[in-house]
Structure 1
Amino acid sequence: MVPYRSILFVPGHKPQWVDKALAAGADCVVLDLEDSVPADLKAAARQTVADSIRAVRQRDTRVGLFVRVNPLDTRLTGGDLEAVVVPGLTGVFAPKISTATDVLRYDALLDHFEERAGVRGLEYIVPVEMIGAIQHAREIALASPRVGAMIGPTAEHADIARAVGYRWTPEGEETLYLRSRILLACREAGIHPLTGLWERLEDLAGLKAFAEKGRQLGFRGMIAIHPSHVATVNEAFTPSPDEVDFHQGLVDAYEAAASAGHGAVRYRGVHIDKAHADTAREWLAHARALPGAAPAPRDTARRPAERDALGIDAPEGGH
């Protein structure tokens, strides 16, 4: 999955809001057929969403386009997928999953509608909204190649808050264990770890702090529910030029040391070896995969003066 920084929800029956989502700079837009659409408008919203997908793709091939369908137990999921699996769709935001078997049930439906529509490669974003999803996070993450991302739960008032019964705080300590389980499942499965939403629309300072804490934990993107949140979320999950320079310089320093027969070296006052270089390479690969961000690798053949400017010291003694 593309490592989306911001995933913004839009009610599926309000196509005029899609333009606002795109103008806000969201990496990914979720067209919603579930909670934000009144029951009596759901059937008509299916065609509206399909039309929105086609319209967006005529002018934007970059943005991710997902649809949140209605949960399996509503018996509306098949009708939703029949309407919205069209060329241009990126994937399905699959609600109310509790077990790996639920993922396979979605697979059975999606296999059929992909074949019917001539569409390939659709992915899932899986929100953790149920107790079972927390308990079975690892199995869900590994259940299907379609599972591309999972969301660590943080909501103040939504399903997971009711299910677990926690008392929400801006610091998020009450959901730290829940989110950590999802994060570890994502890392093991090699999928994109997302953190949950910030419901307080006017509190951008709180959003910024929350997003930055999520990135500190290891999450790589975040759900947003209002266009005004997108810029803050994107900033929080975008590496700074200084961070890119530091990690590229670390790789350069290690490779220069290794080519001279040294297994470790000081870099900007830090001891580094192969493990550090491997971590930096993975970090850089993620940074270059971000939408709209592709820092070019730098030349690793450094002259001494250039290496001094990077803070590359003499090799560690004894190595």
Structure 2
Amino acid sequence: MADRYPARRVLVVCDLLRCRFALSPLWETQEAVRTLARPGRHGYHLPWLRRIEETAAGLDLEPLWRLMPDGGHNPDFLCPPPIGPLAGFEEELAAVRAVDPSVAADDMALALADMPGGTGSPAGRRMLADPARTVQELADLLERAWHLMIEPHWPRLRALLEADIAYHSRRLAEIGFERLLGELSPQLRWTGSTLTVTGTRGNHARVLGGEGLVLMPSVFVWPDVVGGYEPPWLPAVIYPARGIGGLWTEAADRTPDVLARLLGRARADVLCALDEPAGTTALAHRLSLAPSSVSEHLSVLRAAGLLTSRRYGHQVLYERTPLGIALTAGAP
């Protein structure tokens, strides 16, 4: 998967008719493993990282990390697009174990070539020398990571992912495919018959030709948008799920007093209300405050580095930065 590269997808009418949403426990497991090695992803997941720290220390994740170059090819066979909307982890893992070893070898070779010293290293040569054995070892490692890191939290993760799919399915019916893409992520753009996934380097294109497209929310992919999957797999776009800012925080009846003393009650209320991106009007309604007051608080919080903002259509959406998340998650 060229998931760290800008990508273009040329869609035809049949593709739009065959677009579907899906979620994948195997994908979340793989991306959780990647998140452990990517400090830039830690902000939203600090409570989870603290909970699994001891457990993760007992896993040797190096074989998986060796196939996860930052800015290069990542093997598709390790996490193909989900078989269906309700596929379970065991079913998805069985598909990994059944992959053709020659297909896996080609996939791994591309990833190792993008990892400094990957192909020529003893570990890299060992992986490619017996791809059938390597596939089973990687599948075993993903299975252990699932049971120890993700499965205990899966009901919470699945609820968030299903809520995202329900919301965006309604939005698709209300506003259409083109506008929906802008809501999924500012990195997605639809022009004519071309879907573009923007990034930081490289270029990758694929004409879909009626295959359709899988749209998949992910808890752990933030801040990236992943566009990829080469034949024989269906193409997919994976985007950050809505509401991950409040995923690991426990529900509270009110803003914590310690945070209110630090920021002021009204300002702390605004920060705590942003469990998911929202605009000034929505926050004002939620908090029973004047929009002008909420706007002022948002400006101060953004200037202090606790919020970011982005414009979508005629409104500006605000969401917490990692620092803002840490403040709301760390308050007793």
Give TM-score, length-normalised by structure 2: 0.24
Q: Give the structure with higher Rg (CA).
A: 1
Give TM-score, length-normalised by structure 1: 0.24
